[in-house]
Structure 1
Amino acid sequence: MREVRPGVWHWPSPHPDWNEEQWWPELVSSYGIELGDELVLFDPLSVPDELRQRATAVALTAPYHERDARRLGLPIHTPPADTWQDWVEKFGVDPDEVRGMESDDLAWLRAGDGEGHFRGPGEWPFGITAYAGREDNDLVFWLPSINAIVTGDSLSDFGDGLDIHLGGRKHVKRDDVAERLRPLLDLPIDFVLPAHGEPTGRAALERVLS
Structure 2
Amino acid sequence: MGSINKTDLCWGDNYNLTEWYCNASNSIASKTYNCPYGCPYFAYACKKQNDVCVDSDGGKNWNVKGSITFANSTRTDHCSEISTGPVLVEYYCDDYGRIMEAYNTNCACNEGKCTDYFPICVDSDGGIDYFTGGQVTTSTSTIKDFCGNQLYNYTYESYCDDFGNANYKTYSCPNGPCSLVNGSGQCPSTTSTTGNVIYDLFKKVKIAGKVIQGIIS
Q: Same fold (TM over 0.5)?
A: no
Highest RCO, 1 vs 2 (Cα 8 Å, sep ≥ 6)? 1
TM-score, normalised with respect to structure 2: 0.20
Q: Which has the higher strand share?
A: 2
Structure (1/2) with the larger helix percentage: 1
